[in-house]
Chain A
């Protein structure tokens, strides 16, 4: 996955993501594609969750999957979750849960709960950084005001880091793939550098849905695992999502 929150020169935030999933889950030699990724695309749905006929939050999700990985709460926040691979991974948490040790929260259930119930950026940040989880994760959170964006790096038990926007220091975007931002990515899976190159070339004054979609369409940020791209803006109440494909030649991840 690649998630980004960027702030334009007027202080408005744009949050976007490529959803990548299905690595090593069956390679279709004939079609040069990942089988699970191909099967996920037709399941992608945008959902308007309503209560009392009013929108509570919007989400891009998969039919049959009740947790959330991408969402916008109107006027309040935007949230995406990226996988964080670890030896102390979710399979241990799931095993513990099956064996009766159940203090950890399911990641995508927590994300949905935050989208449904959090009333502010700060409340969401606290919930996402302090709740014990079943699996490690990156939460990419955007608020509704200038400077309100961060990447929360989580282990199952604790919050390892909160990386925030810092406009004063020229940090006008935060970008997360699937590696801790303070460490280099795996050399054979470096989507971070191409994504940053495109954003830096775009510059803050030209950032928009169009230029972020351009960045998310550039290989290898766009790759064989990409199922959808979602673009969100709290301040302009905009939520757009598109099914993606990366025709050959294209990186498998």
Chain B
């Protein structure tokens, strides 16, 4: 159907995935739960640092757009990390490790992790 809502008849023969709706396989990683929480995500973050930085920049841009200015992001960077200790283990330490490995401010890593909850409005 070429006008909204762009419905179509039930597809068939799409598996194994190929064609324009398939963008590739998702890469596999191992996270060792025996490691210290700060170290668990380092390999993944080393590989995904650039797209993670781009994603968080986009969230910051949206926050700035919706709230007209930098003030809220300043609060995220300065005040949110102080609340990290209230998160249950091992999530607090894992986020610290992600911030260290990515070079991103801890508050912004926290913002990314709570974004799904906030978005349920």
Q: Chain A contacts of B30 at CB under 8 A?
A: 47-50
Contact (A89, B120) CB under 8 Å given A46-B27, A48-B29, A66-B98:
yes
Query: Is there an interface contact between B52 and A63, defined as CB atoms closer than 8 Å?
Result: yes
Query: Is there an interface contact between B26 and A228, defined as CB atoms closer than 8 Å?
Result: yes
Query: Is there an interface contact between B22 and A48, defined as CB atoms closer than 8 Å?
Result: no
Query: Is there an interface contact between A134 and B117, defined as CB atoms closer than 8 Å?
Result: yes
A41 CB contact (under 8 Å) in B8, B23, B28: B23
Residue-wise interface mask of A (210-253) relative to B, using a CB-CB cutoff of 8 A (1 in contact, 0 not) = 11011101111010000011000000000001111111011100
Interface size on A, residues (CB 8 A): 78
Q: How far is the CA of A109 from the CA of B8 in the complex (A)?
A: 37
Cβ of B17 within 8 Å of any chain A Cβ, yes or no, is yes
Query: Is there an interface contact between B27 and A106, defined as CB atoms closer than 8 Å?
Result: no
Query: Is there an interface contact between B6 and A219, defined as CB atoms closer than 8 Å?
Result: yes
User: In the complex, which residue of chain A has the Cβ closest to the Cβ of B101?
Assistant: A64
Q: How far is the CA of A36 from the CA of B118 in the complex (A)?
A: 15
A218 CB contact (under 8 Å) in B4, B11, B24, B41: B11
Query: Is there an interface contact between A43 and B117, defined as CB atoms closer than 8 Å?
Result: no
Task: Provide the main secondary structure of the chain A interface.
Answer: mixed
Query: Is there an interface contact between B119 and A90, defined as CB atoms closer than 8 Å?
Result: yes
Q: A residues 67-109 with Cβ under 8 Å of B?
A: 67, 69, 83-87, 89-91, 93-94, 97-98, 102, 106-109
Q: Chain A contacts of B109 at CB under 8 A?
A: 64
Q: Chain B contacts of A197 at CB under 8 A?
A: 10
Query: Is there an interface contact between B2 and A85, defined as CB atoms closer than 8 Å?
Result: no
Query: Is there an interface contact between A135 and B23, defined as CB atoms closer than 8 Å?
Result: no
B15 CB contact (under 8 Å) in A21, A97, A214, A241: A214
Query: Is there an interface contact between B114 and A94, defined as CB atoms closer than 8 Å?
Result: yes
Q: How far is the CB of B60 from chain A (nearest CB, A)?
A: 12
User: In the complex, which residue of chain A has the Cβ closest to the Cβ of B14?
Assistant: A217
Q: How far is the CA of A119 from the CA of B32 in the complex (A)?
A: 20
Q: Chain B contacts of A87 at CB under 8 A?
A: 121
Q: How far is the CB of A170 from chain B (nearest CB, A)?
A: 20
Cβ of A35 within 8 Å of any chain B Cβ, yes or no, is yes
30 A–B contact pairs at CB < 8 A? A25-B58, A26-B61, A26-B62, A39-B54, A42-B48, A42-B51, A45-B28, A47-B28, A48-B28, A48-B29, A63-B47, A64-B98, A90-B117, A90-B119, A91-B118, A91-B121, A94-B114, A109-B91, A194-B10, A198-B11, A210-B16, A211-B12, A214-B10, A214-B13, A220-B7, A242-B17, A242-B24, A242-B26, A244-B21, A250-B6
